[in-house]
Structure 1
Amino acid sequence: MFGLQKFLLLLVLTCFGQLVHGIIHGGKAPESSMRYMVSVQNNGGHVCGGFLITNNFVVTAAHCYHYHPTHVVLGNHNLKNGQMVAIKKKFVHNSYESPETGDDIMLLQLATTNGLRDVIQLPHAEIDLTANEVCQVAGWGKTMSGGKYVGELRVVDVSVINPQVCKNQWSQLPANVICAGGYGTSKGFCQGDSGGPLVCKGFAVGIVSFNHNRNCNYPELPNVYTDISKYLQWIDMILHNHQGLTVKPHMFCCLHY
């Protein structure tokens, strides 16, 4: 009987932990604080995160393509109250093969451009990140391995990891990545957070790509993000060819039309 009571208590604590914790050991994002965040969805619901860089283009991870996304939900931290917008076209980086080999970036062109949208700035060029610099990552993903997606946006602080330290921890690490969170901490991202931004100094500098063996409880290796600064020309080319606009990196701050 005592063993059953302990089991039930553990079950209750686990359930409450899933409700309280954000991403991994984070918290609920302040209302309207990150309105550039986008939930990338298929007919079954949320599959990945993403973020607006213009009023009709979203950046997300290339590996999210395999979930066959059909639309996004934007405009609210609570997915039940957001606006659903169809995806018009998907642009996967032409060198992408898998998250572990790199180039894990995709642009989504939305079907409608009605209304003003909150966007997030991209870095002007290669951004200088220092080891232990505190950044943020957010999403509607799982709060533990094997858990469930959450309905309200969660955010957590993560520290940047020195690139050489990250390479030493991973036996194989793709080029053009940033490491932050996971290694030596209890904070980071989990499944369902893929495609969301790593935000440092107010810029979206990274895209959630992969962790170690899909383990969130918690991995011994660093979390890995695609380094957006390495793909600014590619992003500019897509926007120019499909929106009739040449967008220089420094202009992203002003795209609210």
Structure 2
Amino acid sequence: MKALGQFLLFHALFCAASHVQGSVIINGELAPEGSMQFMVSVQNKNGHVCGGFLICEDFVVTAAHCDSGLNHVILGGHNWKNSNVKKIQISNQYKHKKYSDVQYGYDIMLLKLAENATMGENIKTIPLAENDMNLSVNQECSVAGWGKTVSTGGLADDLRVVNVSIIDHNDCQQSWGGLPPNVICAGGKYTVKGFCQGDSGGPLVCNGKAVGIVSFNKGDNCKYPDVPNVYTDIREYVDWINNITKSTECLM
């Protein structure tokens, strides 16, 4: 309880992932053309709010804390402002029933699209990690998003990606003073690479599969070698996702 209390205090003081729009990749690079066609810009009437990723023709995964008047998604382009991207309305949102705040975990949400996305050269799905998929400490994965490249910068238009390494869960827990359930830690501590404020909802991709969802980090400071980045562990929600989508096609 003491460790959890320390984490809750730390979170209240420094972690504002649920209150900042946009997405931020630190010390990454432009995503190569033709890659990561599963990436989605989740938007409200004011524009980009969070990242997300397409898991089947009519469902997108993002973070629960991204729920901020969402009404549509943008698919099919590394630059979501291009005229050739696809805009699809959101018909329903499925936030995990146990979610209340990132500090308590369960930071996952499914978006049901009003029409099926047309699969093709610029739009593809990404398979989800199986619930028994193993991750090893120091395994290299990647995270991507649109937006700032430094803490105080403005949002960018082009998708950026950075490689990050899996961090030992006990190490992560000790660094934060406690962790919510069902999370993965990668990037941030021991490096200058990772996500920053608002890069929420995007996938942590390992071995070509979506394993995690960007959840939270240390407040507004993107130069954060002292604590790891924290992701929702998708492997713990495979059955939940399957029950909502009613299709195993979203899990392949």
Fold agreement, TM-score > 0.5:
yes
Q: Find 2:217's aligned residue among 200, 211, 214.
A: 211
Aligned match of 1:46: 48
Residue 176 of structure 2 is aligned to residue 176 of structure 1: no
TM-score, normalisation: structure 1: 0.84
In 1, Cα distance between equivalents of 2:208 and 2:115 = 27
TM-score, normalisation: structure 2: 0.85
Aligned match of 1:69: 70
In 1, Cα distance between equivalents of 2:100 and 2:225 = 24
Q: How does 1:241-252 map to 2 (within 5 A)?
A: 246-247=247-248, 252=251
Quote how far apart the aligned CAs of 1:99 are.
0.8
Look up the SS of the partner of 2:240 in the other structure: helix
Aligned match of 2:12: none
Aligned match of 1:149: 155
- Contact 1:61–1:105 (Cα < 8 Å) also in 2: yes
* Greater than 3 Å deviation, 4+ residue runs: none
Aligned match of 1:29: 31
In 1, Cα distance between equivalents of 2:162 and 2:243 = 32
Structural RMSD (CA): 1.4
Unaligned runs of at least 5 residues, structure 1: 1-21, 241-245
**Bigger Rg, which one:** 1
Aligned match of 1:9: none
- Contact 2:127–2:208 (Cα < 8 Å) also in 1: yes
Q: Which of structures 1 and 2 has the larger relative contact order (alpha carbons within 8 angstroms, sep 6+)?
A: 2
Aligned match of 1:159: 165
Quote how far apart the aligned CAs of 1:150 are.
1.3
Quote how far apart the aligned CAs of 1:154 are.
0.2
- Contact 1:141–1:191 (Cα < 8 Å) also in 2: no
In 2, Cα distance between equivalents of 1:203 and 1:84 = 24
Q: How does 1:100-119 map to 2 (within 5 A)?
A: 100-116=103-119, 117-119=123-125
- Contact 1:139–1:196 (Cα < 8 Å) also in 2: yes
Unaligned runs of at least 5 residues, structure 2: 1-23
- CA offsets, 1:219-241, max 9 Å, x none? 5210000000000010001111x
Q: Find 2:230's aligned residue among 220, 224, 238.
A: 224
Look up the SS of the partner of 1:79 in the other structure: coil
